[in-house]
Amino acid sequence: MGIENICCRTLVGTLAVLLATPPIAGANAPQTVQLGILTPPAGTAPRINGARVFGVRPGHPILWRLPVTGKRPMRLAAEGLPPGATFDSTSGVLGGAVSKRGTYPIVFTAENGEGHAKRVLKLVVGEKIALTPPMGWNSWNRFNFKVTQKDIKAAADAMVSSGLADHGWTYVNIDDFWQNNPYRFKDDPTLQGAERKPDGTINPNARFPDMKGLAGYIHAKGLKAGLYSSPGPYTCGMCTGSWGHEWQDARTWAEWGYDYVKYDHCTYGKKGFRKGMFSHKGVGAGLDGATLPYRLMGEALRAQKRDIVFSLCQYGMHNVSTWGANVGGNCWRTAGDIKDSFAKMIGNLDRQAGLWPYAGPGAWNDPDMLVVGILGIPSKGVGMTEPHPCTLTRNEQYTHISMWSILCAPLLIGCDLAKLDDFTLALLTNDEVLETNQDELGAQAALVAKGPRAQVWAKPMHDGSLVFALFNTHEETTRICIDYDSLGLEGKWLVRDLWRQKDEGIFGIRYSVEVPGHATHLVRLFPKDDARLAEGVADIRMNSVYIQFEERRPVGKPGRKAPKSYPCERCDK
């Protein structure tokens, strides 16, 4: 086996590097194993999963479904509900509305013939929402421009029937193409019709005859509903956008009952429109112009009487991480569209390295959606394909889910939920891995060591434990090490393998493991004897060696090129 010894050691100052030695002679082709299913099956006894904290604004409707695995029937109960909150013990849904600000610990219990589980949820009634990264599904990477209401309902059904909802998966989000599309898909009658009603209210297309009913359908399952728009007159797929109707659209979406809005950038920057828009809004170009549409929609959404997660989708332009939260954003894309190719996935990952200072409860960097399972996008280029299984290797999928989890990225599954295979389902239902994403501290991982064949990322958890991801960037199996001295750790730590949910033992000085090619080994270190961070290391991430923070431009996106017949009746006039 071509195994490399790669280990961290101290260099000048706080720099920690990974050293690589040449491969053992005789290794010709890349040699490695592909990992199989690692997640242990959920037991029959009850286990309460998901976030331990949930934010809601005063007086706004609460919708939170208790994520619990185990054999049904199960007796569910809640204690300590604040005035106004309700709990339906049959559906397991926390509802109602609480007008008084504060933090309310609610004790949930779940019981069946096999056992008993208890978990405290902190209900935080205040200004902030999305206290942990949103977890759910989005239609784009599977259904693309062909999405219908039926697909969305099927996704909601499958989120419950597959068991995903019992692990905390919540949002069912419609991406582009719920609106009409007058110019790009002229031949598709299901996309034709008036863009708006005479009073300006946006019209959904014929494939989405009942947007309000659809949100109700999703809510009835204890799940939440999302939709998509763009600040230009048209979206990236050239469907009707929100330009000039921002407040009206926000009101419509709230009235329909939507809980999540993904707001793109397309056509906002088109020269013809830009001139008109800027003079219309009375602002100049540059940062003002870049932040304007998000400020506007952020205010409009915040004014509604329901909580709406606001997701910015402008690919990281103008250093969005530094201002996304200030315009009311709960998450913001930091890169172009992801594809199921290793290079693309890693490209999006690389951009996160320096962004951890900007993430925290209510505000998340978003390296784009999860490309696992049956997808409908090409792994290169643009457009839509016939449904095909993800082309990332199994090892690469472990890296994808491990990294997106510890980055505290919004986790939005992009595949066909009705056709989940066992491997994909196991990838998406490992509660110990998901816990690194949903931890109440909300700390995004930083890249703390990097070498030619490996990267080590690390993040703190609210209980004082630390999570490390040992990512083998090479095709061959590689030994990767957490060197305590160079990373600022002292004493002994209990190392737990999160994918296998197994303790590996207590380690001092260093921990090392062989990681298959392109895979990631995810461990959580719990403090044992004399365990602590070294003097001067306030946060494991302060030791990070790799701060990358530069402005990024969008890469090729579907629908960016306007057709020749690009409508100009709404250009600068």
Residues forming the active site: 264, 337
Judged by CB, which is closer to ligand GAL: 314, or 472? 314
Q: What is the signed CA dihedral for 211, 336, 477, 388, rounded to 10 degrees?
A: 40
With a CB cutoff of 8 Å and minimum separation 6, the contacts of 66 are: 48, 50, 76, 92, 93, 94, 108, 110
For residues 117 to 136, the per-residue mask of contacts with ligand GAL, x marking binding by CB under 6 A and - elsewhere, is --------------------
CB 525 within 8 Å of CB 466 = yes
By CB under 6 A, which span of 287-295, 385-393, 494-502, 554-562 interacts with ligand GAL?
A: 554-562
- d(C-alpha 103, C-alpha 95), whole Å: 16
Nearest approach in angstroms of CB 63 to ligand GAL is: 24
Please, are residues 240 and 215 in contact by the beta-carbon 8 Å criterion? no
Name residues whose C-beta falls within 8 Å of residue 57's C-beta, 6 or more positions apart in sequence.
Answer: 125, 126, 127, 129, 307
User: Pick from 140, 268, 294, 398: which binds ligand GAL (CB under 6 A)?
Assistant: 140
Q: From the CB of 371, what's the least distance to ligand GAL, in Å?
A: 11
Tell me the window of 13-21, 241-249, 504-512, 555-563 that interacts with ligand GAL (CB under 6 A).
555-563
Contact residue for ligand GAL among 227, 236, 300, 375 (CB under 6 A): 236
477 with 514: CB under 8 angstroms? yes
Taking only Cα atoms into account, the Rg of the chain, rounded to an integer number of angstroms, comes to 24
Q: Which is nearer to ligand GAL, 382 or 571 (CB)?
A: 382
Instruction: Tell which phi-psi region holds residue 505, choosing left (phi > 0), alpha (psi between -120 and 50) or beta.
Output: left
Choose, by CB under 6 A, the member of 4, 166, 175, 195 that binds ligand GAL.
175
Nearer to ligand GAL among residue 31 and residue 341 (C-beta)? 341
If one asks whether residue 455 binds ligand GAL (CB under 6 A), the answer comes out as no
Q: How many CB atoms lie under 10 A from the CB of residue 55? A: 20
Which of residues 211 and 523 has its CB atom nearest to ligand GAL in the complex? 211
If one asks whether residue 176 binds ligand GAL (CB under 6 A), the answer comes out as yes
At residue 294, φ and ψ (nearest 5 deg) are -80, -35
Asked if 557 touches ligand GAL (CB under 6 A), the answer is yes
For residues 362 and 365, what is the distance between their CA atoms, to the nearest angstrom? 10
Nearest residue (CB) to ligand GAL, 4 versus 175: 175
Enumerate residues 192-231 that contact ligand GAL by CB under 6 A: 228
User: Is residue 357 reached through a cis peptide bond, with omega within 30 degrees of 0 on the bond before it?
Assistant: no
- Give the H/E segment covering residue 261: strand 260-263
CB of 176 to ligand GAL, least distance (A): 3
Query: Minimum distance between the CB of residue 205 and ligand GAL, rounded to whole angstroms?
Result: 14
Quick note: the x/- pattern for ligand GAL over 325-364, rule CB under 6 A, is ------------x---------------------------
* 264 belongs to the binding site for ligand GAL (CB under 6 A): yes
Alpha helices in 303-393 (DSSP H): 342-350
The label of the residue with tokens 């991801």 reads 469
User: Applying CB under 6 A, does 237 fall inside the site for ligand GAL?
Assistant: yes
The burial of 570, by beta-carbon neighbours within 10 Å (0-12 exposed, 13-18 middle, 19 or more buried), is given as middle
**SS3 (DSSP) at 56:** strand
Please select the residue that binds ligand GAL; options are 38, 313, 390, 531, rule is CB under 6 A: 313
Nearer to ligand GAL, 123 or 211 (CB): 211
* Count of residues touching ligand GAL (by CB under 6 A): 14
CB 239 to ligand GAL: min, Å: 8
Residues at the site binding ligand GAL, with contacts judged by CB under 6 A: 140, 175-176, 228, 235-237, 264, 266, 313, 337, 557-559
